Amino acid sequence: SAAPKTMKIKSSHPSQGDHIVINEADFDPAVHEVFDAATDAAEAAAWQEAKDKADAAAALAIKEQAEADAASAAAEEAAAAVEA
């Protein structure tokens, strides 16, 4: 007899890797999600790009705050020097 047709589905636990193989006859769309390596790679790339943009924005905000803090400290020092 012929081997049953199989398909890849997304794994339900990280210990299983990114996908597992099941028999097509066992596929239940209410429980399983079809694994598509190309789609998963595109989603992962989009997520990484969004994360990189968020990291860059956070780094810029930190830099701008540090510059503002330095300018404020310099202004306070200048004011103190004038008062002295």
Residue 71: its pLDDT value, please?
93
C-alpha distances out from residue 7 to 10, 26, 31, 77, Å: 10, 10, 14, 70
Residue 43: its pLDDT value, please?
77
Question: Under DSSP, is residue 6 helix (H, G, I), strand (E, B) or coil?
Answer: strand
Residue 31: its pLDDT value, please?
94
Q: What is the mean pLDDT of each run of 10 residues along the chain (84 residues)?
A: 90 90 95 84 81 92 94 91 82
Q: Is the pTM of this model over 0.75?
A: no
Residue 18: its pLDDT value, please?
87
